[in-house]
Amino acid sequence: MVKKQDTASGMSNSKSALEPASIERYERLEHWNPVSLSDKLAHLKGEPVERQTLDITGVPSTVDPLASKQSSMIGKFSSLPRIPIKTSVSFRTLSRTFWALLFIVVVCLILSVIFAFSPSSWCGNGIVEAGEACDDANLDDSDGCTRACDISPGYECKAHVQREIRWQSCSMCPIDSFSSGLRSSFLSDQEANANFTFINDSVVALLSCSACPPNSTTVNTEIAASSRTGLTSIEGCVCRGGYSGPPGGPCTPCRAGEYKMSSGTSRCLSCPINMTSRPGSVSRDECVCLQGMFLADRDAPAPCSLCPPGKFKSSLGNDDCADCPLGHFSPEQGATSCYLCPLNTFMPSAGASVCVDCPFRGQVSDSGSTSLTSCKCPSGSQGLDGGCTCSSCPIGMFKSLAGPFACLPCPPGEFSNTSTSSQCFKCPQGTYQPLRSSSSCLACPSPGLRTRASGSMRLEQCECVEGYVGPAGEANCAACPRGTYKNELGGSTCLACSAGSFSETDASSFCKLCPAGLYSSSEGQTSCSGQCPFAFLSSLPGAASVSDCSCKQGYEASSLAFHFQTSANLDVLLPNCSTCPPGLYKNTTGNIRCTPCESGAYSTTPGSSFCTACPQGSTTLLPQSTTSADCSCKRGFQGSSSSACQACARGYYKEEVGFGSCMACPANSDTLALLGSTSLNDCVCDPGFTRNPATKQCEGCKAGSYKSFLGDDVCTLCEPGKYNQLTGKTFCVSCEPGKYQSDMGASQCYECPSRYHVTRDPSGKNDVSGSTTADACTCREGFYGPSGHHISPSGLTDCVPCPAGGYKDSAGPGPCSSCPTGSVMPLTAGTICSSCPAGTHPEAASSTCIACSSGTYAQTTSQLVCAVCEGGKFSQHLATSLASFPFQHVSLVYPFQVTTDLVPFQVGPQSCTSCSPGQFSLAHSSACSSCSEGSYNSQIGSSFCSLCPRGQYQMIPGQTSCLACPVTTFSISMATVQSLTVGNGSSSSSDCLCPPGFSGLASGLLCAPCAAGKFKQELGNNACSDCPAGKFSNTSAMSSCVSCPQGKVSVGIGKTACLSCPANTTTLYSGSLLSSDCLCGVGYEGLSILVNNISSLRCSACKQGFFKKAVGNQLCEACQPGSFASSSLSSSCTLCPQGLYQDSNASSSCRSCPVLQTTVAAGAKGLRECKCQPGYEGTGSGGCVACVAGNFSARAGDACSKCPAGSYSDAAAASACRLCGFAASSSVTGSYQELAGSTFCRRCPSLDHRSAFGAASNASC
């Protein structure tokens, strides 16, 4: 069969099985090998392939794959329902049945013939075969596998594998995937095989859905009916929240400071001002405040506010600003950190905007100090930490550290000559000081005395100086005589000068050496008397005998010596000296030979002690020259015998010594040295030239290379990004902007791939030269796309202008950015977005400005939305209001310069107009409305009309005021009264009625006041009413009656006054309406008496010792023990004061406790509550005795106790102990007491010691 057929439908579709389209489909499948696809599946799974051959009948020679199919199909026909035949029918019925059966038989025969001679494969048999993308054995085109055996777009299909691929199921592509379907008519065997993927050994995927690109989804939340499953194209994949990009990707994360809430094609939105977000944020809630700011109102246009002074926030986030910690401050708003309090200040609390100066000007504190005690007296002064003053250290004392330490005396050997000294100075050499606290040092008693070092403490450390001798510490030191010396401090002996030396003055600290030519052969000499005997002899300094004499300078010893007899008749052998000949010299004294003059010098006379150098630039050919004529020009110099030698100039050389000229270097070469080159080898190739090894000549560098220095080195190839078109160059030229070169040794640069490409620095703003790769070619501002020869993920190969609503302000490979919130770009290739003009607001896509509608306005540029006119104002938009505004973009015409074009916009209202008096408008109004009847408005720009107040009305709309109700006069006092309305907003004079306290006729035209004793409470024209019992009104025109005050009654109605109760009585409440409401007052008791057989009430005052606290006729009560009432008419009893008691009822006074006794509290009820007063204790016999010194009792009745350690009492009868310690004055020495029961405190060991109050040991000092 060609069409897919449901077995349950029987033969109902047999006619459609033979339609022309299906027959064509059948013919197309007829030539296909029905087993080729199975063979390929077996090959993919590693199974052996068994080829089947068909005989002439079409039946395979091995296993018949058609047999089961044909038998199953024949079974379908054999299983057709049988038609029941009635036993009793008419001939016409039998005829109809016969023809129906005959038709069925004919159809079955035709189908049998088709099945017998047709191939075994067809679309609809439930087996996926060659040329089929799927086969689900049904005619349903909506299940993913169509009736043409194609896989529908948006579906993926799987099949079960046995010997062939049998159908399993198709399903719609799940969320975040898509499929474009599979057409079987386009499949070859190889193509079909390529789409199959084995899921396991028994299931194969005929076609799988492709996943959406990264960070994209099929769920477009920007479209209500967005497809989620069954997507048919990659364009159905849209960027997720937090990402933006075109349909199908690529999706890039929103930049820091942006967010995108929905999945779809919209651009990322900017966070509110002063907020930022991490890249890829999906909600405005992810926008957080910058450092130094906190979230004040998330719904406000600027949600973040600056941290106030004294607070800071160092991180991004919506947290509150934190208080600056102790020792820190922040003086300005928006602090991201707090500063340490500077030196000499402190801050003891958090949240400070300024630090507190130390109280005393000289006090110092470290930076970041947190308390007053951080303020310390500096070095050189003393005082308590945090105190108000610091005193300078006296002269002779010092303090080296800041803090509460006392100044210390300078030790012996040191001094301090100023106050506020932080250190003492050592006594200098020649002085000493044996005392402490000194302001100066004592000088040694004689100039001949000196101390060995600074810091000397005793006179004995003063010793005789060099050249003098004597005992230490004494004033007289004797000078060493001539011929002696002393070269150290101290000591008592002068030393004799050794042989060869002498001292010619007294007090010598050293001896001089005998000068050259003289000698001294004995010790202790005052001069050198010996002299070398001959003119050619001399001696070195310090000679001790005539034998130290030798040949002097310019003389040398000969081989012969002679004998010399001294004045002491000693025979000494001395050298025989001769002069140095010309050409030689000797510059020292001694018995050595003369030395030849070196090359470049000569000596012309005998006995020379030095050689004379040749003139500058000249030398001698040989050493030991005897005349200046031997000097000639040296190598690298030229000249003549009559002229001075000059150095060869640069580019010239001279190789030999002598007079002559310098030689020039070969072509294209030069000398390295500026002057005096001595060889041809000193000539090297010029910059831009290199030496040819074969010809030894300097040749120019080839194109694409260079040499920048002098020398024979090879030329260097031009680096990538540079080129050179000519030979003999000393440098390479950088590739011009818009070009690049990636190779070395280039003679030219390549143009960037596109006319929209440029080469820029990292900022993307400035053109750069010397680019080394095509990737340096990036899209210019206003364009986006791939760099160099790359292809973008979306398939772009060239730069594309930014669409309207986007911009790119610098060159680079990145995408175009959405215009920031509040700005637009209506042109393509935009480089900067501009604010919408006043009267407009930006559309959502930021590609144009929309005019504000009626009832709204935009007063300034950059408004995100048009503001709504507030109540009392209105605005109207006119479609004819047009204006043009400039926008900056890149022109699409060469040379693609940034240009500014004018774009026309409709402009809406820029402000709102106030409504006139008598009118009003609600917010967002395009016009004003008139006030209705019963209301008015007298103001300009009102959002409401006021109702006419009581007593006024208004019948006409649009009015600025109301009319007053009529006024009438009543005759008693010719007073006037105005009628009133029931409420506000009356629109007719008929609403005017008499006010409370007045009665009158209809319409309130005549209103009369209520008489005394009457009242009228409501508004209206009804009559006045009598005041009820317990109340009265004593004037006319009353709207209510007054209750009788306490102590008065009103019996009956219509009363103008109340009656007072009898003497000593009153009422419980106000408003009493019976005489019996009068009762005895507070402090009075009631008694019933008979007068003329009539019972009456008499109120008598309570006696002393009795009281009555409430109004009523009850009797007075007696005061209880511990209390008393000293007067009559008492409303309460008084407690006995402390020290008194009362043990009886109805008392008018209290009794005193015995001597030295008192009560613990007021209200004592007996003598047993009297106790010994503080400072005393009971004796056991009822008496009291005072606590002895060193003891105390703090409360009445307590036994005496010892004062605890750290306290004392120095008198008897003490109720408290005094603490040891010191007063606030710094002049009081500290004290302590380590024993209990003491009568005194012990002083601290030193006068400058202090201790805390209650010190219990000397460790507290």
Average pLDDT over residues 430-447: 91
Q: Which secondary-structure segment (H or E) carries 91?
A: helix 91-117
Distances (CA, A) of 1188 to 95, 1212, 1219: 153, 5, 18
Residues contacting residue 1028 through CB under 8 Å, at least 6 positions apart: 1041, 1053
* Of 226-240, 449-463, 824-838, 875-889, the least confident: 226-240
Distances (CA, A) of 545 to 500, 534, 590: 8, 15, 15
pLDDT band, residue 1001 (cuts 50/70/90): low
Beta bridge partners of 1099: 1086
Q: What is the DSSP letter of 96?
A: H
pLDDT tens per residue, range 904-915: 988 999 999 999
**3 state DSSP class of 194:** helix
pTM, two decimals, is 0.38
Average pLDDT over residues 1123-1128: 91
- Cα dihedral 219/225/231/234 (nearest 10): -60
Average pLDDT over residues 1070-1083: 87
Q: Averaging pLDDT over each range in 145-159, 211-225, 495-509, 558-572, which range is the top one?
A: 495-509
- Identify the pLDDT of residue 1200: 93
Residues contacting residue 156 through CB under 8 Å, at least 6 positions apart: 144, 170, 171, 173, 179, 205, 206, 207, 208, 209
Rounded Cα–Cα distance for residues 618 and 640 (Å): 10
Among the residues of 150-224, which ranges form H helices?
A: 189-195
pLDDT band, residue 975 (cuts 50/70/90): low
Average pLDDT, the chain: 82
DSSP string spanning 372-399?
GGG-BPPTTEE--TT-S--EEPPTTEE-
Tokens of residue 36, six digits: 């080729």
**3 state DSSP class of 740:** strand
Q: What is the DSSP letter of 60?
A: B
Q: Which secondary-structure segment (H or E) carries 832?
A: strand 830-832
pLDDT tens per residue, range 900-959: 889 898 899 999 999 999 999 988 998 999 999 989 999 999 988 998 888 888 889 999
Tokens of residue 97, six digits: 């049945």
pLDDT tens per residue, range 150-208: 888 888 888 776 656 666 678 888 888 888 877 654 444 444 444 555 555 556 667 88
pLDDT tens per residue, range 127-145: 877 777 788 778 788 888 8
Say if residue 349's pLDDT is above 90. yes
Average pLDDT over residues 970-996: 71
Say if residue 16's pLDDT is above 90. no
**3 state DSSP class of 546:** helix
Rounded Cα–Cα distance for residues 337 and 15 (Å): 89
Q: Is 153:181 a contact under the CB 8 Å cutoff?
A: yes
Residues contacting residue 267 through CB under 8 Å, at least 6 positions apart: 244, 260, 805, 806, 818, 845, 846
pLDDT band, residue 83 (cuts 50/70/90): very low
Radius of gyration of the chain (CA): 64
Average pLDDT over residues 1074-1089: 85
pLDDT band, residue 22 (cuts 50/70/90): very low
- Identify the pLDDT of residue 226: 61
Rounded Cα–Cα distance for residues 905 and 502 (Å): 116
**Spatial CA neighbour of 1033 closest among 1024, 1045, 1042:** 1042
Tokens of residue 1138, six digits: 């402390």
pLDDT tens per residue, range 491-523: 778 999 999 999 999 999 999 999 999 999 889
Say if residue 273's pLDDT is above 60. yes
Task: Count CA within 13 A, CB hemisphere, residue 62.
Answer: 4
**3 state DSSP class of 891:** coil
Q: Is 488:467 a contact under the CB 8 Å cutoff?
A: no
- Identify the pLDDT of residue 528: 92
Rounded Cα–Cα distance for residues 98 and 843 (Å): 79
Which position has the higher pLDDT, 236 or 397?
A: 397
Q: Is 424:436 a contact under the CB 8 Å cutoff?
A: no
Q: Which secondary-structure segment (H or E) carries 356?
A: strand 356-357
Distances (CA, A) of 353 to 306, 344, 368, 423: 14, 16, 14, 38
pLDDT band, residue 1180 (cuts 50/70/90): low
For residue 949, say if its preceding peptide bond is cis, omega within 30 degrees of 0: no
Rounded Cα–Cα distance for residues 880 and 462 (Å): 113
Residue 990: count other Cβ atoms within 10 Å of its Cβ.
12
**Strand residue runs (E) in 438-593:** 442-443, 449-451, 462-464, 468-469, 478-479, 484-485, 495-496, 501-502, 512-513, 518-519, 530-531, 537-538, 550-551, 555-565, 571-579, 584-585
pLDDT band, residue 976 (cuts 50/70/90): low
Beta bridge partners of 899: 889
- Identify the pLDDT of residue 748: 94
Tokens of residue 1217, six digits: 């102990």
Say if residue 658's pLDDT is above 50. yes
Residue 943: count other Cβ atoms within 10 Å of its Cβ.
16
* Of 15-19, 239-243, 856-860, the least confident: 15-19
Task: Look at the block and give the residue holding tokens 């003393």.
Answer: 382
Residue environment code for 699-719, b if the CB has 16+ CB neighbours within 10 A, otherwise e = ebbbbbbbbeeebbeebbbbb
Average pLDDT over residues 1136-1147: 92
- Identify the pLDDT of residue 410: 94
Beta bridge partners of 1049: 1059, 1072
Rounded Cα–Cα distance for residues 182 and 156 (Å): 9
Rounded Cα–Cα distance for residues 652 and 660 (Å): 13
**Spatial CA neighbour of 818 closest among 260, 425, 435:** 260
